[in-house]
């Protein structure tokens, strides 16, 4: 604890000392009741990542015919089996794959795919049907289901300035921060702390709700700072924003912070024009970041209890467009990475480019099947209560 805060804690300020309860102490004592020791890290690739130039069907003639300029030649790939290969820039990810730490699920999507970024992202984040509009996210409803008033705010943590819909439940919401410093800048001033700790009676439920949110935020900020400040990662992460975000998550995991779900994103995948350079840069950033992250967790013996899920709101059109790019598509591949996978490798068949829906890949795995699997087999929760429907699980988690 910094001395200024200690000084503050001694001061009575707006509240009298008898009413004053240092919330972070409670956080230490109580622990996080919902935490089962497993961590889920969700990585959102925003803008619609072109899955076909990420996992390349390098034996498929249609792929080369429909993408005369964009298709990756045999010198631009890292072969994984006799059908599929990674884009050559993803050396780290190939290493992860070859070490049996990765499962690729092809053709993930949903019926009647929506090709608007916002709508499709909402569908993925809320786990709604394509024709229903939900105001809560799937992780938020996981919190609703698990917490019942007993969770700390950092049970689900997004590494970003603001909180995604995915993280908002009816009753409980996750928390967001760019990093510890940014969070402390927001909470660690006398005024905010005094307000958060003032214990006066609030005549209105809504005002009480605001105070409760503030108290929980400040309490989690204190807890995270205390718990993580002694840990320094020895791993070299790429110096970009995505690398920094992953480094923050690894720091928290390796310091033993009891967060169940982390959420972070990498954006810029909306490659309508001049796709090659843009996407390669992004995929390199993505792969290098994940590689450092996985190594970091592995060295600290935290990889077996961590599962990374990587998704994008849709894939892209199989046929290239006239601007050296691709337009919005439908089904896409999704990655699971970690030490707890059952039978890693390719989970299912390659995309069928002979049977397209308006030029886009058809889905054969509903994304909510992936969610149901992660919720039940990984987080030990009740997927039907969270997804409002029962979905067949996929056999991808080692029991």
Q: Rounded to the nearest whole angstrom, what is the least distance from the CB of residue 249 to other proteins in the complex? A: 17
Quote the CA–CA distance of 321 and 1 in Å, as a whole number: 56
Q: Does 279 sit near other proteins (CB under 8 A)?
A: no
Q: Is 234 in the site for other proteins (CB under 8 A)?
A: no
Q: How far is the CB of 280 from other proteins (least distance, A)?
A: 16
Output 217 or 369, the one with its CB closest to other proteins.
Answer: 217
Give min distance, CB of 267 to other proteins, in A. Answer: 4
Closer to other proteins by CB, 11 or 353: give it. Answer: 11
* CA gap 141, 64 in Å, rounded: 43
By CB under 8 A, is residue 47 in contact with other proteins?
A: yes
Q: Which of 198, 240, 255, 302 binds other proteins (CB under 8 A)?
A: 198
Yes or no: say if 62 and 36 are a contact pair by the CB < 8 Å rule: no
Contact 323, 55 (CB under 8 A): no
Q: Which is nearer to other proteins, 98 or 323 (CB)?
A: 323
Whether residue 94 contacts residue 101, with contact meaning beta carbons closer than 8 Å, is answered with no
User: How many CA atoms does the CB half-sphere of 74 hold within 13 Å?
Assistant: 5
Cβ at position 163, least distance to other proteins in Å = 5
- Is 207 among the residues that bind other proteins (CB under 8 A)? yes
Specify whether the CB–CB gap between 71 and 295 falls below 8 A: no
- Least separation, in Å, of the C-beta of 235 and other proteins? 25
Binding other proteins (rule: CB under 8 A), the pick from 50, 144, 146, 178 is: 178
Q: By C-beta, is 76 or 240 nearer to other proteins? A: 240
> For residues 38 and 173, which CB has a smaller minimum distance to other proteins in the complex?
173
In the complex with other proteins, the residue whose CB is nearer, 87 or 176, is: 176
Task: With CB under 8 A as the rule, give the number of residues binding other proteins.
Answer: 60
174 binds other proteins, rule: CB under 8 A: yes
Phi and psi at residue 265, to the nearest 5°: -135, 160
Q: Quick check: 217 binds other proteins (CB under 8 A)?
A: yes
The pattern of x and - marking residues 146 through 165 that bind other proteins according to CB under 8 A reads: -------x------xxxxx-
Question: What does the DSSP 8-state code read for residue 377?
Answer: I
By CB under 8 A, is residue 17 in contact with other proteins? no
Supply 245's token pair: 């975000």
Alpha helices in the chain (DSSP H): 3-10, 23-30, 61-66, 91-98, 117-126, 138-147, 180-187, 190-197, 205-228, 241-254, 275-299, 367-373, 383-387
- What the block records as the tokens of 59 is 């034996």
Q: Does 43 bind other proteins (CB under 8 A)?
A: no
Residue from the set 8, 13, 95, 319 that interacts with other proteins by CB under 8 A: 13
> What mask, x for binding other proteins by CB under 8 A, covers residues 236 to 275?
-----------------------------x-xxxxxx---
**Is residue 109 close enough to count as binding other proteins by CB under 8 A?**
no
Asked whether the CA dihedral 119, 125, 126, 127 is positive or negative, the reply is: positive
Nearest to 294 by CA among 45, 105, 100: 100
Distance separating alpha carbons of residues 186 and 345, to the nearest angstrom = 43
- Which residue from 59, 88, 119, 129 is in contact with other proteins, where contact means CB under 8 A? 119
If you ran DSSP here, which 8-state letter would residue 173 be given? B
Query: How would you classify residue 142: left for phi > 0, otherwise alpha for psi between -120 and 50, otherwise beta?
Result: alpha
Residue in 38, 39, 67, 173 binding other proteins, rule: CB under 8 A: 173
Give the sign of the dihedral formed by CA 84, CA 90, CA 91, CA 94.
negative
The rounded distance, in Å, linking the Cα atoms of 156 and 258 is 9
Residues near other proteins (CB under 8 A) are 13-14, 46-48, 117-119, 121-122, 133, 135, 153, 160-164, 167-168, 173-178, 182, 185-187, 191-192, 195, 198, 200-207, 209-211, 213-214, 216-217, 220, 265, 267-272, 313, 322-323
């Amino acid at each position: 604890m910094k001395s200024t805060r200690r000084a503050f804690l001694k001061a009575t300020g707006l509240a009298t000392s008898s009413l004053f309860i240092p919330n972070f102490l409670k956080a230490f004592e109580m622990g996080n009741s919902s935490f089962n020791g497993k961590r889920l890290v969700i990585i959102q690739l925003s803008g619609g990542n072109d899955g076909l130039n990420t996992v390349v069907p390098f034996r498929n003639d249609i792929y080369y015919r429909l993408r005369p300029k964009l298709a990756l030649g045999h010198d631009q790939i890292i072969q994984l089996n006799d059908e599929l290969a990674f884009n050559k820039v993803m050396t780290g990810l190939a290493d992860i794959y070859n070490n049996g730490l990765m499962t690729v699920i092809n053709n993930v999507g949903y019926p009647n795919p929506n090709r608007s970024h916002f709508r499709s992202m909402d569908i993925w984040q809320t786990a709604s049907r394509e024709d229903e509009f939900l105001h809560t996210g799937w992780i938020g409803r996981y919190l609703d289901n698990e917490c019942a008033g007993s969770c700390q705010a950092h049970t689900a943590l997004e590494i970003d300035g603001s909180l995604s819909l995915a993280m908002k439940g009816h009753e409980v919401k996750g928390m967001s921060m760019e990093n510890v410093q940014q969070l402390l800048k927001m909470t660690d001033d006398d005024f905010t702390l005094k307000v958060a700790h003032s214990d006066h009676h609030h005549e209105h439920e809504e005002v009480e709700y605001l105070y409760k949110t503030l108290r929980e935020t400040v309490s989690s900020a204190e807890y995270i700072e205390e718990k993580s400040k002694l840990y320094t990662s020895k791993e070299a992460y790429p110096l970009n924003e995505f690398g920094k975000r992953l480094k923050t998550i690894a720091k928290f995991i390796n310091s033993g912070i009891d967060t169940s779900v982390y959420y972070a994103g990498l954006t810029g995948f909306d490659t309508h024009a001049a796709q090659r350079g843009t996407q390669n840069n992004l995929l390199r950033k993505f792969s290098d970041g994940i590689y450092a992250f996985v190594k970091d967790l592995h060295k600290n013996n935290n990889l077996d209890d961590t599962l990374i899920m990587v998704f994008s709101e849709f894939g892209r059109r199989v046929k290239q467009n006239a601007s050296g790019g691709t337009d919005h598509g439908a089904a896409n591949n999704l990655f699971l990475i970690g030490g707890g996978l059952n039978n890693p490798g390719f989970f299912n068949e390659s995309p069928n480019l002979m049977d397209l829906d308006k030029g886009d890949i058809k889905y054969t795995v509903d994304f909510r099947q992936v969610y149901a699997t992660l919720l039940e087999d990984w987080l030990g929760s009740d997927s039907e209560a969270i997804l409002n429907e029962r979905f067949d699980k996929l056999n991808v988690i080692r029991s």
